[in-house]
Each structure stands twice: as C-alpha cells, then as structure tokens.
Structure 1
Amino acid sequence: MSDQKTDVLIIGAGPIGLACGIEAKRAGLSHVIIDKGCLVNSIYNYPANMTFFSTSDRLEIGGVPFISHNPKPTRPEALEYYRRVASSWELNTRLYESVDAVEKMGDLYQVTTSRGVFQARAIIIATGFYDLPYLLNVPGEDLPKVKHYYDDPHPYYDMRVAVVGAANSSVDVALETFRKGAKEVTMVIRESEINPRVKYWVRPDIENRIKEGSIKAYFESSITKITPRTIEVKTPDQELVLENDFVLAMTGYQPDFSFLESIGIAIGQDEFKTPTYNESTMETNVDNVYLAGVICGGLKTNAWFIENSRVHAEMIIDDLKKKSVVAE
C-alpha cells in the first residue's frame, strides 16, 4: 500500500479526537482519525448503566445538538450521539487500527499502523487513559475471575464478589452488584474511608450499606493473593482468607507513557508525570505534535473531561493555521 498523505493525523477516536477532526475540516485541512478500538472506545467500555456527571449540552461537539431524555445522559445516549456526530460531519475514521510507529521524515511524520502507512504534517494525540489499568501486582491476578473493566451486574448474580477501590467506579459496582443479586459483596479499600470525591448523592448510600452490613468493607486493607476460589486480604488487624468467585479491580487507569516517549515527548518529573506541552497551543516539545483531552493530565486523570477539553481542538487547529500546515 502506498503512503497516504494528510494534513492532520489524529490518534484516538474519542469525543476530543472527533472534535479535532471537526475543527480540521472547518479549517480546510485534511485529516484522518485512527483508533485501535471502536468509535469512542472508552465510553463503549463504560458500565452499561452508567450516567454521565455532565449535562448533555456540556458534551456537545461540532455544533450537533445532544438531546437526552434524562437530566444527565446515559452511556447508550452518548454512543448514539457520537455516532451521529461522526456521520454528520463525515469524519475520516480508521477504527480497529493500531498505531505501531511514528517517525520524523523531513517535514513530515511517517505513521505506520496495523493496516497502512501515513504521512502527516501534524499529529494530535487524544488517546485518553482507559486502555491501561493499574494492576494489583499480586499472585493470581491473571486468573479469569479477575476483571479490570465492569460492564453489567448480571454475571455476578449469586456470586461472591470482591470490589477493589473506593472511588466512584468502585462504589457504583459494589452497589449495583449488591442490588442485582450478588450473594456477597466485599469492598477492599487501601484508604481509611470512601473517597471524598464520590458523587454526593451516592456516598450516603454506600456508607449506609456498609454500616448496616449489607456490603462488607475492609479499610486500610489490600488483597495479597488470589486463588480460583478465595482471596487473601491483609487488614490492619489480621490476614483473612475469604471465599470468592470474582474480583472486580476498579483501581483506575493510566496513560500510555511509553508511546508518548517513543515519539520524543518529554514526561515531567512531577508526581502526575505530566507530559510537556504549551498550554496556549497544546503543542508538545516535539514540533507539530499536539496533545488533546485527558492525556494532558498524565496520572491526574480527573483534571480534564470532555466538557473542559473540547476547546483543545480549536486551540490546536488555530495554531496549525498560523503555521500554514497544508499537505502537498
């Protein structure tokens, strides 16, 4: 296959990647959006019954109205909306196609993917952070019973479930599996309390379920070993062996720093490993390579959301227009 030229190559087909494609089209720049998964893959991997924090208008991109039937939109509504955005703007998406290598070739970047080779004047990385979960790093974590992603409560009916973590996702999983018939729900939490940032309307619910004993919680504790039928838990007072059918490790996710470093993007030495970029243009320390969306926060994955990073697309394309980036 011969090399395909484009003005802007966008890595990541999430909402911010789509927004970048829209701004490129508005500016008369050719574009391609590449993602190793499906359209808005992170949202697709959210729990089936998830509801967004934001109202629908805060999730809109490209001037396409997002009408929700609920006070806050649901995952199915968001999937439908972003499909409609991609279709109405006729965005050039290449899905289920991974980026294998990025090399500088004179004034262009050569991007090799699992299905072809592209030459681009500029690259925008909008990959988010949902692909790489934090691991427990304990024996038995590779067993099929251990899940780092949660979709639906049905498989856990009449099962003994251990939920690891104390943030929003962990609390949601614990409450939903409890209410959908799990035989036993146990939370294993490193901290001394439920995360203060848990949704204010959910926090009393989980605290009351723990207080009444419907959901068991071990605070300042950690799983040390997983076997097909048990988990071993270290608590401040003792080490326990608990019967267990599934471990739902809602331990959070992290960006692919190795990919950023392979391109030459400098990673900060701060606690959040914040990638280097110009806050006015979103350009990294590598010429014509930009960051957009959640990836900008490094490990501080709660710094950027759809609603406050949509503007990155305009900032990047404005900078490229000033540079007169046009493919020959």
Structure 2
Amino acid sequence: MSTVVTSPSRTRDALRQSYGLIQALAVLAILVAVMSILSPRFLTWINIANLMGQMAVPLIVAAGMTIVMISGEFDISVGSVVALCAAVTAALMPTTGLLPALAISLAIGPAIGWVNGMVTTKGRIPSFIVTLGTMMMARSLAFVVTGGQVVSNTSDAIKAIGQGRLLNIPVPFLIALLCYAIGWFLLTRTAFGKRVYAVGANKMVATLSGIRADRVKIQCMMIVGFAAAFAGNVLLARIGAIQADTGRGLEFEVIAAVVIGGTSLYGGQGNILRTIIGVIIIALIRNFLNLSRIDIFWQDFATGAIIIGAVLLDALQKRVGQR
C-alpha cells in the first residue's frame, strides 16, 4: 500500500494560490447578503439581468487588462479607447456599412496597443506614463470624431445583438463570458500564456531563457487594446448611441477589479477567471448605490475606496506569499 506525501512547499503554494480566491468569494458573499437585506429589489431578476448587461463592458476590458498586468504592465488608456472605437463605428456606419466600420474600429485598438507597447519597451518608459499620454490623445480623437455630440447612427442589426437576450440572459454578458473562455485558454493552454507569466515574474530571467520579453509585452498591449475596441462596440450595440465622454474612469475601475480578483500589481501572478469576481464586486456596489438612491457623486468615492482597498489587499497577499 503506497502513501502519497505532499511536500510542505507544494502545500504552501496551493494555500497561497487559493488565499486570494477565498478572500474575493467571502467579500462577494457578504456583499450579496447585506445588499439583499438592505434592498428588497436587489435580488429580483430584473435587477440581476440589468446588472449583467452593465457588467459586459468592464468584464471584456478587465479580461485584457488581466493579461497585461500579469505581464507586469498597465494600460490606463482603455476607457478612452472604448469611447474612440465606439465613436468611429457609429460615425462610419451610415457611409461604409456595418462590417467595414467594425473592421476599422476593431483595428484601432490593437494599433494603439502596439504604440503603447513599442514606446514602453523600446523607450524604457513606464507603461503607466505612456498610456496616460495615449489616454488623453484617444479621448481628444473621440471628441473630434463625435464633434462633442451624441452619435446614434447605429443599425438595427448591431442593436439587435446588444439588446438581445438568450434564455433571458443579456447577449453582451454571454459575449463577455466567451471572452473569458478565450482568455483562460490563451493563458493556461498555450506557450504564449506561459511566456506572459514568465515575463511578468522576472523579465531578466525570462530573457535569459530565450523569451523575447519585449515582444510578449507588446502583444499583451495589443490584446488589451483589442479588448477595449471590442468592448466599445459591445457598448454601442447595447445602448445604441455613444458620446466622447463615455468610459471616463473605466480604466481605474477595471484595474481595481483585476486586483480584487487576485492579479498582482507586480506581475507574474493572476487568474483571469477570478477577475470576474472582482468585476462583479464593483458592479454590485455601484448597483446598490443606485438602488439606494444615494447621490451619484458618491459612486466615484466608493470606486476610489475600492482601489485603495485592492492595493492594500495585493500588498497583504504578497507579504503572506513571502512568509
């Protein structure tokens, strides 16, 4: 009769990996319990379905942001890219048709991501600073494209997708879940995913082992750029209109959600499926504030508090891991 012996180091690794998940699930369970008690409308299907639709865009962007943060970088231009790409689709659709407009719009996101990646890696400039610049540039272009007006030239075909439901579940939410399935496969079942983790954990070691670290980081930036462009078009399909100010502050909300989901601010660690929990937690808080008719200006205060809490949580997880 043989006995399987588990090494202490392997046990510690398993505990460290599950620590963040347990914390996130505990916070989510407490939020659901408290909010359902304080607001009788919270657990109604109408509210849950609306919440699913509202979460679609942050979910899609957060999927791309998870990949970038695992590689050790940030992209705070995603909110502006969402607005710009949605505005381009809405502006071009009446003249070019739906498919050409979508093709051009979806190409803009990866192009901006490529610029971010090239300047970050070749210029040796922190990605936070680089994407701060492209955030302002993309927002300015969104105002140029829309002329500062609300653009609502959307076809019935795209609105049918964005406002449709399958088994009474909003289609945008199902599209977001599909993005996570693709992201999970990319990170866990491909050589590219292993390189992303290796580069984020230690770029120098990854380079010495033969990984082209700069190329990996550029590819990650292009992925989050595409995710933002795609999310912008999903948003356009869901609401049927867009304005240049759309998505302002989305980048910080998404980063907070990714950190709450267990992805490290320092790179090399994260699970894309756990990011879903982080997005849900932030969406629940915003939804509860709306249901409670609390002044909308407090929503940014709550988001800021969540960001600080997420950073402290990440630091605590790193200390626990070191111990």
TM-score (norm. length: structure 2): 0.21
More helix by share: 2
More strand by share: 1
Structure with more relative contact order (C-alpha pairs < 8 Å, separation 6 or more):
2
TM-score (norm. length: structure 1): 0.20
Q: Of the two, which has the highest radius of gyration?
A: 1
